[in-house]
Structure 1
Amino acid sequence: MHIRALRTPARALAALALAALGAVTVAGGAQAQPTHGASTHYGVKPITSTHGIRTFAASAAAASADTLSVGSSASQGVVSPHPKVYLVFWGKQWSSSDPAGVATDLQSMFKGLYGSQDTWGTILTQYCEGVASGTTNCAGKGIRIAHPAHAPLGGTWFDNATAEPTNATAAQLAAEAVKAAKHFGNTSQTPNLNAQYVIVSPTRTHPDGFPSSNFCAWHDFTGSAYGNLAYTNLPYVPDLGAGSCTTFTDGRLLSGIESTETHEYAETVTDFWPSSGWNGGNGEIGDECENLDAYVKLTTGTFDLQGLWSNRANACVTHG
Structure 2
Amino acid sequence: MNHGTTPTVRRRTVRASVAAALGVALLAVSPTISSAATAAPGVNAHRHGALPTVANARAAAAQSPSRRSANTLSYGGGIDGIGVMSGHPKVYVVFYGSQWGTSGTDANGNLTFSNDPDGGAPVAQNMFKGIGTGSEKWSGTMTQYCDGSLVATNAITCPAGAAHVPYPTGGVLAGAWYDNSAASPAAASGHQLGLEAVKAAAHFGNTSAAANRYAYYVIVSPHGTNPDSYQGQYCAWHDYNGDSTLTGGAVTSPYGDIAFSNQPYNMDSGAGCGVGFLNSGSAGTLDGWTMTLGHEYSETITDQNPAGGWTNHTSGAENADECAWLKGVTGGAGNVQMGNGTYTEQGSWSNDTNACALTHSTVS
Q: TM-score, normalised by structure 2?
A: 0.74
- 1:123 aligned residue (116, 128, 141): 141
* Contact kept in structure 2, 1:46 and 1:245, CA below 8 Å: no
Which segment drifts farther, 133-142 or 152-161? Answer: 133-142
Unaligned runs of 5+ in 1: 1-6, 21-37
Residues of 2 paired with 1:16 and 1:42: CA distance?
5
**After the TM superposition, which parts of structure 1 deviate over 6 Å for at least 4 consecutive aligned residues?**
none
Shift of residue 9, structure 1, vs aligned partner: 4.3
Shift of residue 240, structure 1, vs aligned partner: 1.4
- 1:267 aligned residue (299, 314, 329): 299
> 2:49: which partner in 1?
43
Q: Trace 1:2-81 onto structure 2 (pairs within 5 A).
A: 7-9=1-3, 11-14=6-9, 40-48=46-54, 49-50=57-58, 62=69, 65-72=70-77, 76-81=81-86
> 1:35: which partner in 2?
none
Residues of 2 paired with 1:226 and 1:17: CA distance?
24
Decide whether aligned partners of structure 1 residues 204 and 227 sit closer, same or farther in structure 2, where only a CA change above 3 A counts.
Answer: same
Amino acid at match of 1:299: G
Shift of residue 52, structure 1, vs aligned partner: 5.7
Decide whether aligned partners of structure 1 residues 85 and 16 sit closer, same or farther in structure 2, where only a CA change above 3 A counts.
Answer: closer
Which segment drifts farther, 156-165 or 230-239? Answer: 156-165
> 1:3: which partner in 2?
none
Count of residues in correspondence between the two structures: 289
Task: Provide, for residues 30-65 of structure 1, a one-character-per-residue CA deviation record: whole Å limited to 9, x for no partner.
Answer: xxxxxxxx9642114232231569xxxx99x72xx2
* Contact kept in structure 1, 2:219 and 2:262, CA below 8 Å: yes
Decide whether aligned partners of structure 1 residues 243 and 250 sit closer, same or farther in structure 2, where only a CA change above 3 A counts.
Answer: farther
The 3-state SS of whatever aligns with 2:153 is: coil
Residues of 1 paired with 2:12 and 2:120: CA distance?
32
RMSD of the alignment, in Å?
Answer: 2.5
Residue identity (%)? 40
Shift of residue 245, structure 1, vs aligned partner: 3.2
Task: Provide, for residues 249-287 of structure 1, a one-character-per-residue CA deviation record: whole Å limited to 9, x for no partner.
Answer: 624111111111111001110110111110013400011
Amino acid at match of 2:71: D
> 1:88: which partner in 2?
94
Q: Trace 1:286-305 onto structure 2 (pairs within 5 A).
A: 286-290=320-324, 291=326, 292-305=332-345
Task: Provide, for residues 48-92 of structure 1, a one-character-per-residue CA deviation record: whole Å limited to 9, x for no partner.
Answer: 231569xxxx99x72xx2101001067941101121110001111
> 1:241: which partner in 2?
270
Q: Trace 1:209-228 onto structure 2 (pairs within 5 A).
A: 209-212=229-232, 214-222=233-241, 223-228=252-257
Q: Would you say 1:184 and 2:204 are equivalent positions? A: yes
* Contact kept in structure 2, 1:289 and 1:306, CA below 8 Å: yes
Residues of 1 paired with 2:197 and 2:10: CA distance?
27
Task: Provide, for residues 158-196 of structure 1, a one-character-per-residue CA deviation record: whole Å limited to 9, x for no partner.
Answer: 111221111111111010001000000000000111001
Q: Trace 1:112-191 onto structure 2 (pairs within 5 A).
A: 112-130=130-148, 131-191=151-211
Decide whether aligned partners of structure 1 residues 8 and 69 sit closer, same or farther in structure 2, where only a CA change above 3 A counts.
Answer: farther
* Contact kept in structure 1, 2:115 and 2:223, CA below 8 Å: yes
Residues of 2 paired with 1:224 and 1:177: CA distance?
9
Decide whether aligned partners of structure 1 residues 138 and 262 sit closer, same or farther in structure 2, where only a CA change above 3 A counts.
Answer: same
The 3-state SS of whatever aligns with 1:78 is: coil
Shift of residue 139, structure 1, vs aligned partner: 4.0
Q: TM-score, normalised by structure 1?
A: 0.83
Decide whether aligned partners of structure 1 residues 160 and 15 sit closer, same or farther in structure 2, where only a CA change above 3 A counts.
Answer: closer
Residues of 2 paired with 1:278 and 1:208: CA distance?
25
Residues of 1 paired with 2:239 and 2:318: CA distance?
13
Decide whether aligned partners of structure 1 residues 8 and 286 sit closer, same or farther in structure 2, where only a CA change above 3 A counts.
Answer: farther
